[in-house]
Amino acid sequence: MCIFCEIIKGNIPSKKVYEDDKVLAILDISQITKGHTLVLPKKHFDNFLDIDEEYSNAVFNAARKVTKMINNAYKPLGFNIINNCGETAGQSVMHFHVHVVPRYNKEDLVMQHADNSNKFDLDSIVKDIKG
Contact 97, 40 (CB under 8 A): yes
Does 36 qualify as catalytic in the annotation? Answer: no
Question: For the stretch 8-35, what's the b/e string if a residue is b when 16 or more beta carbons lie within 10 angstroms of its beta carbon?
Answer: beeeeebeebbeeebbbbbebeeeebeb
Q: Which does 93 bind (CB under 5 to 8 A by kind): Zn ion, ligand 5GP, none?
A: ligand 5GP
Contact 95, 40 (CB under 8 A): yes
Q: Does 92 bind ligand 5GP (CB under 6 A)?
A: yes
Instruction: Report, in Å, the least distance between residue 62 CB and ligand 5GP.
Output: 16
Q: Does 90 bind ligand 5GP (CB under 6 A)?
A: yes
In the bound state with ligand 5GP, the residue whose beta carbon lies nearer, of 58 and 100, is: 100
Q: Which residues bind Zn ion (CB under 5 A)?
A: 2, 4-5, 44, 95
